[in-house]
Amino acid sequence: MRKFDCVIFDWAGTTVDYGCFAPVQAFAEVFRHYGIEPTMEEVREPMGMLKIDHIRTMLNMPRIRKCWEKKYGKAPEEQDVRELFGIFEEKLMGILHMFADPKPGVPEVIQSLRAKGYSIGSTTGYTDKMMEIVVPAAKEKGYEPDCWFSPDSTGQKGRPYPYMIYRNMEKLGIQDVRRVIKAGDTVSDIREGKNAGVFSVGVILGSSEMGLSQEEFESLSWQEQQEKCRRTEQRFLAAGADKVVYDLRELEAFLEI
């Protein structure tokens, strides 16, 4: 008898958008618009969170906060957060359709899991409006979960709150958190899963945590690839991941044990 009934996936960096580049590009452009050049580490650290919370987190990072105070003569305020988010949303909406391709092997894994009786749920840091672009674009390329929930469905309480997972369980008729897997590509995904009490899996290849495109990763030497994977795995494990896999095909193999 199988141990789990449901797998809940993240979107960008986990099932679509290898390397999670759509939001990264938009966040970087927003801060540049305000005269601040964020590092890729600063942009990616809060990845997986509700997008407006991501902006709040970046504005509170010591270096960025110092740059903001030097440029504008005051600490960033909530009005600034909302103005940045408005520009971010506009920039992201203009490029999302180009970043909805499923990662290699994802449609085949989902088809196989469904054939074995697993329900397929999903959570995201995107808003409903953003998902109205991503979902049909991904469906055209072969990926469609049974359901999805954004922070718009949980009173804007996104990751690391567990509520989007519970909405998936409600929709899919799953009553026991011990029979649910949450798989994602960020520390926020792992924390979301742990807070929900489900089995939490970190996905290495194509993840925001690794932060490389498929071409960039494949151009590395075998030793460099292994070191990148090891570092990403350690971040997931430090966040409390129950398991770390290279890709969703490895997760499928794990479910067959």
Which distant-in-sequence residues (6+ apart) come within 8 Å of 160 by Cβ? 49, 188, 191, 192, 195
Tell me the catalytic residues.
10, 51
Sign of CA dihedral 49, 51, 57, 58: positive
CATH number at residue 205: 3.40.50.1000
pLDDT in tens, the chain (257 residues): 789 999 999 999 999 999 999 999 999 999 999 999 999 999 999 999 999 999 999 999 999 999 999 999 999 999 999 999 999 999 999 999 999 999 999 999 999 999 999 999 999 999 999 999 999 999 999 999 999 999 999 999 999 999 999 999 999 999 999 999 999 999 999 999 999 999 999 999 999 999 999 999 999 999 999 999 999 999 999 999 999 999 999 999 999 86
- How many domains does one find in the chain? 2
Are residues 103 and 18 in contact, defined by beta-carbon separation less than 8 angstroms? Answer: yes
CA distances from 140 to 30, 66, 170 (A): 30, 44, 27
Same domain membership, residue 65 and residue 11: no
Show which of 97, 114, 137 is a domain's final residue.
97
| Predicted structure pTM score | 0.91
Show which of 49, 70, 97 is a domain's final residue.
97
